[in-house]
Amino acid sequence: MKLRKLTALVATTALCAPMAFAADMADEMTIVSWGGAYSNSQIKAYNEPYAEKTGVKIINDESSAEAVAKLRAMDEAGNVTWDVVDVVAADAMRLCDEGLAMEIDPDEHLAPAPDGTSAEEDFGDLLVSDCFIPQIVYSTTFGYRTDLVGDTAPTSVCDVFDLEAYPGKRALEKRPINNMEWALLCDGVAKEEVYDVLETEEGQERALAKLDTIKDNVIWWSAGADTPQLLADGEVVMGSTYNGRLFSVIEEQDQPVAMLWDAQVFDLDGWIIPAGLSDERKARALDYIYFATDTQRLADQAKYISYGPARASSAPLVGQHAELGIDMAPHMPTDPENATNTFLYNYSFWADYRDDIDAKFQAWLAK
Amino acid sequence: MALTPVQNQTPAFTAAVAACAGGFFGLFVGTAQGSGLLGLVIGAVLLGAMGFAFTHMLDQQKPIRWATTAIFGVLGFLFGGLPAAVLGLLFGWFAGWFTFWLATSSYRKRLPPYLTPGQVLWHFSFRVICGAIFVFLITPILVVMPLSFNAENFFTFTPEMLRFDPEGYSLRHYRDFFTNDDWQQALWNSLSIAPMATLLSVSFGTLAAIGLSQPHVPFRRAIMAVLISPMIVPLIISAAGMYFFYSRIGLQGTYFGVVLAHAALGIPFVIITVTATLVGFDRSLTRAAANMGAGPITTFFRIQMPLILPGVISGGLFAFITSFDEVVVVLFVGSAGQKTLPWQMFTGLREQISPTILAVATILVGISICLLTTVEFLRRRSERLRGMSPS
């Protein structure tokens, strides 16, 4: 009899334990981001002030790279453990389509600009999806070793394809996006027509043929940290990566590297809130988002990393680097000096053609 | 010590064998410099010529060897500064020793006289192959260690490091590890998960092993196979399965979830080591204890446990290392609150190649070496106690 009572007690405790965990979640939240210097800038600009203001315990997860897959798994397992997730715009669109992210009403859920402009107007065109709260504009561009390129530094993206003037290895991302556009551009296609050409079978062949000319000299990267490492090693002469990484290599790590802003490709990164959170957690996540995407906070982030704030009203507030004390504005991808020739990541094109071109690109890589 | 009387070799033989060895080294050096073939030819010609020449000057062994060492050292210095000079000295010393070793037939002295030339060749080839395997296994680990003292933030041997300039080295990555909250939290998580998982693995694994070693237990083999399966099933499969199962019962993302998952992975190691120790365990001892009035529990703790303890401890150490080094399962079963050291290293390596990872790796290699030394020490002790080894 005694034993049976004990068993019952143990069983009830075991059953209650998970509920107990769920109940005190509200003053704790998990924020998912990319790690490295980028997470660091968010922690400094958003998380620390927010924790100080509200007393919430913030857990930082660095899983943004596999956010889509993990959110799918969480949804299937019926156990969403993330509260706010940092993803690129393309991923946000996918998550939104699959119903894995919550839809946001900018004017209700986001702070207006200090002068009273509504959030919808302040973010403007950058609100590319109903679930996506833009945070930064970043760009994928080239960096080159100043000591390995000879007397004339490269000035055009087509110098990447010029093995005679700039012999040596190049680092390119292991995916068709951006590479195909650059290849066509340097094969004589006008900038406005790049996507019209890339739609066609011949156009795709043409881009791959152009890439073929440098294929033997390419090191393919897949993580943002690869190109900075390869540049620092002198293993590559030039390589594409995110502009913030190059900023860190040049200004913070003092490496002999310079930026080639020509034909940089803008992309957006921002927050989503997973669908299916409990009311308490959803309220907490929305509160965080409201705080972290206001005009001042977005401008603050630019003190730690050279990505452009997504709000128009934040731009004038961008100041100096928190440690180096240099002006950040000239390092922003959106600075007029740097933005003379730019692309914007074409979401609709790549949503339609990504699978197809990906397959061709992978087959070409394996050849 | 000479087993076989020897006489000096002909210049042709020495030159040919030395050329082969030179070609072998030249291939590696040449490949590293961009042209394997050129390296092979240069190496072969160089050592071949040395072999041929030295056979004629056998009475001058000492001065010639010193000279070779010095010449290679100077050549290395001219080519690539201090580090190359050290390599040059080493290679020069080896080349001098090797040619005379061949020319004077010293290699034959210690082998039995009845061996055919083929057997002699195999005797040394076997050693070279073993050495090569050892080098390929150990070099990647050794390369990491000096890099962890890099003063820069990249995985790069900087020119300062290659010059052995103290400026090029620093402990900043070790400092980062010990002061950075992320790393400290990860270390703390690992240190609180691994011992708990080990405790569970050891208790369950030992009990299972003892039970399964009783001859009268039905379906012994089948049960054993199920218990060992986490070791055989691909980790990613176990991890995905655990993820969905633990999510349903509310254990996903909790400390106990991760501990349980790691315990399941560690149990096979404990079962295997304890079963192996039980093979040498004399069952009549437990019967004797029972005969003298000891209950099963007393018998276990007073008689059986002390005798199988080495197996239990080494199984426990394996279980500890499994949990401590594990990254796949914790990525699924844990949440960011249970981020362990390997997890932190994994994300760090992907998102930001920072030598702090190398510093941690060096520390972990040190810990692993200590643990494995302990295991080996215990194993020897257990063998000695059971009289399996005469020492």
Angle value at C-alpha A185, between A183 and A191, nearest 5 degrees: 145
Global confidence as pTM: 0.78
Structure-block tokens of residue A186: 């340097």
Q: Chain A contacts of B243, Cβ < 8 Å?
A: 73, 77
Q: Count other C-beta atoms under 10 Å from residue B109's C-beta.
A: 14
CA dist B362 and B347 (Å) reads 18
Interface residues of A toward B, Cβ cutoff 8 Å, are 17-19, 21-22, 30, 32, 34-37, 59-63, 65, 73-74, 76-79, 81, 223-226, 228-229, 232-233, 253
User: Quick check: A26 pLDDT over 70?
Assistant: no
Query: Which residue of A61, A79, A251, A269 to mutate against B (max B Cβ within 10 Å)?
Result: A79
Residues B186 and B315 in one domain: yes
- Reported as type and span, the H/E element at residue A57 is strand A57-61
What pLDDT is attached to residue B355?
85
Residues B216 and B317 in one domain: yes
- Cβ-contact A154, A266 below 8 angstroms: no
Query: Which residue of A30, A32, A38, A62 to mutate against B (max B Cβ within 10 Å)?
Result: A62
Backbone angles phi, psi at B65, to 5 degrees: -65, -40
Residues B200 and B93 in one domain: no
User: Quick check: A352 pLDDT over 90?
Assistant: no
Residues B203 and B314 in one domain: yes
Domain contains B366: no
Domain contains B174: no
User: Quick check: A3 pLDDT over 80?
Assistant: no
User: Quick check: B152 pLDDT over 90?
Assistant: no
* Domains of chain A, start order: 2-131+273-331 (3.40.190.10), 142-265+336-366 (3.40.190.10)
CB contact under 8 A, A77 and B244: yes
CB contact under 8 A, B156 and A232: yes
Q: Count other C-beta atoms under 10 Å from residue B335's C-beta.
A: 20
pLDDT over 90, % of chain B: 35
Residues B346 and B260 in one domain: yes
User: What is the DSSP code (8-state) at residue B389?
Assistant: S
User: Quick check: A116 pLDDT over 90?
Assistant: no
Q: Chain A contacts of B189, Cβ < 8 Å?
A: none
* CA distances to A34, B81, B149 from B357, in Å: 17, 29, 11
A162-217 pLDDT tens trace: 999 999 999 999 999 999 999 999 999 998 899 999 999 999 999 999 999 999 99
- Cβ-contact A284, A26 below 8 angstroms: yes
Q: Find the mean pLDDT for residues A14-31.
A: 57
Q: Burial letters for B209-240: b for 16+ Cβ neighbours within 10 Å, e otherwise?
A: bbebbeeeeeeeeeebeebeebbeeeeeebbe
Residues B335 and B242 in one domain: yes
Which chain B residue has the Cα nearest residue A226? Answer: B353
What pLDDT is attached to residue A62?
86
What pLDDT is attached to residue B179?
92
Q: Find the mean pLDDT for residues B186-192.
A: 93
The residue from B114, B129, B159 where one domain ends is B114
CA dist A75 and A85 (Å) reads 14
Domain contains B237: yes
Q: What is the largest CA-CA distance in chain B?
A: 83
The residue from B99, B114, B129 where one domain ends is B114
- Strand pairing report for A84-88 and A28-32: parallel
pLDDT-derived band at B236 (thresholds 50, 70, 90) equals very high
Number of domains making up chain B: 2
The segment with the largest mean pLDDT, out of A38-42, B158-162, B350-354, is A38-42
Structure-block tokens of residue B40: 């092979």
Structure-block tokens of residue B92: 């020069």
User: Quick check: A12 pLDDT over 70?
Assistant: no
Nearest beta carbon to residue A34 from set B248, B252, B351: B351
Q: Chain B contacts of A86, Cβ < 8 Å?
A: none
Residues B218 and B72 in one domain: no
pLDDT-derived band at A23 (thresholds 50, 70, 90) equals very low
What pLDDT is attached to residue B188?
94
CA dist B156 and B172 (Å) reads 15
From A24-38, A206-220, A224-238, the region with the lowest mean pLDDT: A24-38
User: Quick check: A7 pLDDT over 70?
Assistant: no
CB contact under 8 A, A223 and B154: no
What pLDDT is attached to residue B204?
95
Shortest distance between the Cα of B218 and any Cα of chain A, in A, equals 27
Q: Find the mean pLDDT for residues A287-314.
A: 91
Which chain B residue has the Cα nearest residue A28? Answer: B337
Q: What is the DSSP string of B240-289?
A: HHHHHHHHHTT-TTSHHHHHHHHHHHHHHHHHHHHHHHHHT--THHHHHH
CB contact under 8 A, B347 and A35: yes
User: Quick check: A344 pLDDT over 50?
Assistant: yes
Q: Chain A contacts of B188, Cβ < 8 Å?
A: none
CA dist B47 and B96 (Å) reads 9
Domain contains B1: no
Residues B105 and B237 in one domain: no
User: Which residue has tokens 């296609």?
Assistant: A189
B59-116 pLDDT tens trace: 888 888 899 899 989 988 888 778 788 888 998 999 888 888 888 888 888 888 888 8
What pLDDT is attached to residue A63?
87
Of the two residues B169 and B200, the one the predictor is more confident about is B200
Residues B106 and B228 in one domain: no
What pLDDT is attached to residue A16?
44
What pLDDT is attached to residue A321?
87
Shortest distance between the Cα of A30 and any Cα of chain B, in A, equals 8
Q: Count other C-beta atoms under 10 Å from residue B45's C-beta.
A: 14
- Reported as type and span, the H/E element at residue A44 is none
pLDDT-derived band at A19 (thresholds 50, 70, 90) equals very low
- Cβ-contact B371, B322 below 8 angstroms: no
* CA distances to B124, B127, B314, B344 from B113, in Å: 15, 19, 44, 59
Residues B206 and B89 in one domain: no
pLDDT over 70, % of chain B: 98
What pLDDT is attached to residue A218?
95
What pLDDT is attached to residue A17?
44
Structural domain of B45: 11-114
* CA distances to A72, A182, A293, B214 from A247, in Å: 34, 22, 23, 67
Domain contains B167: no
pLDDT-derived band at B1 (thresholds 50, 70, 90) equals low
What pLDDT is attached to residue A342?
87
User: Which residue has tokens 């092979």?
Assistant: B40
What pLDDT is attached to residue A187?
93
Residues B101 and B203 in one domain: no
Q: Chain B contacts of A17, Cβ < 8 Å?
A: 250
Q: Chain B contacts of A59, Cβ < 8 Å?
A: 335-337
The residue from B114, B132, B165 where one domain ends is B114
Domain contains B26: yes
Domain contains B267: yes
What pLDDT is attached to residue A4?
54
CB contact under 8 A, A78 and B248: yes
- Check which CATH number belongs to the domain holding B232 and give it: 1.10.3720.10
User: Quick check: A223 pLDDT over 50?
Assistant: yes
Structure-block tokens of residue B357: 């990872």
**pLDDT, mean over chain B:** 88
From A113-127, B314-328, B377-391, the region with the lowest mean pLDDT: B377-391
Q: Find the mean pLDDT for residues B238-250.
A: 92
Q: Find the mean pLDDT for residues B25-44.
A: 85
User: What is the DSSP code (8-state) at residue A335?
Assistant: S
Domain contains B68: yes
Q: Find the mean pLDDT for residues A96-119.
A: 90
Nearest beta carbon to residue A62 from set B152, B249, B351: B351
From A209-223, B45-59, B189-203, the region with the lowest mean pLDDT: B45-59
Residues B89 and B227 in one domain: no
